[in-house]
Amino acid sequence: MITQYDAFEIRCPMLGHPLTFSYCRSTDGNTPCRNIMNCWFQRLPVEQFIQDHFPFGTLEKLTTPPKPKMQSLLELIEKAKATKKNGDIPCRDVAQE
């Protein structure tokens, strides 16, 4: 049952206050927090829980480190340039004003 550990509580290192497991397993409604493994592994069989209750590949996403900030920023800049070049977003040039 997916709600079996929902009442368990720990202090969240990201938010800085106590949270229940129910919050950690559904931070955006469908996906567990990216830190769920690190926070709960000592109290619960969290890896097995994720395998049992979430789609295939969720565990891999949670254990894969995030992209470095610089790489993410560069990708966002390139995406914005491509969008502007294609004319998808009207853009004012502030320098011309």
Question: Using one digit for the tens of pLDDT, what is the confidence trace for 41-65?
Answer: 999 999 999 999 999 888 888 888 8
Tokens of residue 23, six digits: 């919050």
**The pLDDT value given to residue 7:** 95
Check: CB of residue 73 under 8 Å from CB of residue 79.
Answer: no
Strands 9-11 and 18-20 come out as: antiparallel
**The pLDDT value given to residue 95:** 57
**The pLDDT value given to residue 27:** 82
pTM (predicted TM-score): 0.66
Local structure of 60: helix, strand or coil: helix
